[in-house]
Copies of this chain bind each other. A is one copy, B any other.
Amino acid sequence: MSQEMKIGLIGAGRIGRVHIAAMHRDVPGVSVGVVCDLVEEKATGLAAEYGVAKTAVSYREVCADPTVDAIAVCTNTESHIEIIECAARYGKHIFCEKPLALSLPDIDRALAVVKESGVLFMLAFNHRYDPGNTRLKQDIAAGVIGRPEMVFITGRDPSLQPLDYLKTSGGIFLDTVIHDFDCSRYLLDDEPEEIYARGECNVDPAIASFGDYDTVMLIARFKNGTLVHYNNSRRAVYGFDQRIEAFGSKGKIETSNILETNLTYAHVDGYHRPPNLNFFMDRYVQAYREEGRIFADCVKNGRTPPSGGFDGRQAVLMGLAAKKSAAENRPVRLEEVDIR
């Protein structure tokens, strides 16, 4: 590998923009060498914006490019598997967005290819790399709250995504709750055994037409007896709401939202504070940078990424269990949906 690690960025959409900003601009020693998108203008536009010389429309071309050290998979979920397999076969390290894929057999096949090829695989669960969440995990591990008895994770998007996006998102459990599924495993260092999920279409009834929900609440029981509550909404008018509360035998830790400014206003009608940082691009900007930095560090120093293929698979498994639970209105054990 050259002095500077070169990333081939596949997918120049919203999340691709997030990662080029984080890795190309903010992580020393890393740069994007090629921007690739099926829509050529998207690739050239984004490349121009960041001063990247090469663009491509075919991910195979990028995987084959000898100047590229690693592939960042930022495409729609359905193409993840073939890109991962291709990258692995060309010996490129892989940084992959969530969800890994929607089918467990596909995931297992792709992860087998990755394993065989010996490349490094990192699943980009950015919530893990948020400084507050990282500290929370450390505190739990250090026993600050004693034995964890209950965890509560709130994840609410600021506004409803377009229905066209939602239809292909894999459903709310695999699209947004998946972050919280992973985060609970990360924080507790424990595995879930059963999930109960309840979903409603309170934001837009049209979402029901493709079997999805916009408002969900879940309870998972983890193997060590910790109960975990998750709630997600596709629309919180007051902004992107991301909070965790961890409760245990020795106390409680809560993370709070991060607001736009540190100003408090007092007026005739009371006190006012600004809204939360608007959406993931702002709220998790430090997390994306840290995620990129850790990926680069793992590649350069042969370390195992903190979130890998197994983590990606487990989160999908939880999502599939949640989906089944909501559909059948009963708690579902993870092994029920674990098809190998």
| Copies held by the complex | 4
Stretch in A5-13, A112-120, A254-262, A299-307 touching the partner = A254-262
* A42 at the binding interface (Cβ < 8 Å): no
Cα A262 to Cα B266 with chains together (Å): 16
Cα A271 to Cα B241 with chains together (Å): 12
Write out, one digit per residue, whether chain A residues 97-139 have a CB within 8 A of any chain B CB (1) or not (0).
0000000000000000000000000000000000110011001
Cα A331 to Cα B198 with chains together (Å): 10
Q: Is B238 in contact with A252, judged by CB distance below 8 angstroms?
A: yes
Interface centre among A149, A227, A260, A266 (most CB of B within 10 A): A266
Q: Is A263 in contact with B202, judged by CB distance below 8 angstroms?
A: no
With known contacts A229-B229, A231-B229, A263-B255, A237–B198 Cβ distance under 8 A? no
Q: Is A231 in contact with B264, judged by CB distance below 8 angstroms?
A: no
* A167 at the binding interface (Cβ < 8 Å): no
Cα A203 to Cα B237 with chains together (Å): 38
Residues of chain A touching chain B, judged by Cβ–Cβ distance below 8 Å, are: 25, 28, 131-132, 135-136, 139, 144, 147, 149-150, 152, 156, 196, 198, 200, 202-203, 215-219, 221, 225-227, 229, 231, 233, 235-239, 241, 247, 249-275, 329-331
- Shortest C-beta distance, A77 to chain B (Å), equals 27
Q: Is A231 in contact with B152, judged by CB distance below 8 angstroms?
A: yes
Cα A196 to Cα B227 with chains together (Å): 13
- Shortest C-beta distance, A91 to chain B (Å), equals 30
Interface centre among A216, A219, A262, A275 (most CB of B within 10 A): A262
Cα A229 to Cα B263 with chains together (Å): 19
Contact of A219 among B144, B219, B249, B251 (CB under 8 A): B219
Contact of A227 among B200, B255, B259 (CB under 8 A): B200
Q: Is A215 in contact with B237, judged by CB distance below 8 angstroms?
A: no
Q: Is B267 in contact with A256, judged by CB distance below 8 angstroms?
A: no
Complex contacts, A272 vs chain B, CB 8 Å: 269-273
Complex contacts, A254 vs chain B, CB 8 Å: 263-264, 266
Interface centre among A147, A202, A218, A236 (most CB of B within 10 A): A202
Cα A24 to Cα B259 with chains together (Å): 29
Q: Is B217 in contact with A202, judged by CB distance below 8 angstroms?
A: no
A-B contact pairs, 8 of them (CB 8 A): A135-B261, A144-B265, A149-B233, A196-B196, A253-B263, A255-B264, A330-B330, A330-B331
Identify 18 new A-B residue pairs, CB closer than 8 A, beyond the known A196-B331, A238-B252. A132-B261, A149-B203, A149-B233, A152-B231, A198-B227, A200-B227, A217-B229, A237-B251, A238-B267, A251-B266, A251-B268, A253-B266, A256-B262, A256-B264, A258-B262, A272-B272, A272-B273, A329-B331
Cα A144 to Cα B266 with chains together (Å): 10
Complex contacts, A231 vs chain B, CB 8 Å: 150, 152, 227, 229
Complex contacts, A196 vs chain B, CB 8 Å: 196, 198, 219, 331
Cα A331 to Cα B233 with chains together (Å): 22
Give the nearest-CB partner of A202 in chain B.
Answer: B149
- Shortest C-beta distance, A148 to chain B (Å), equals 9
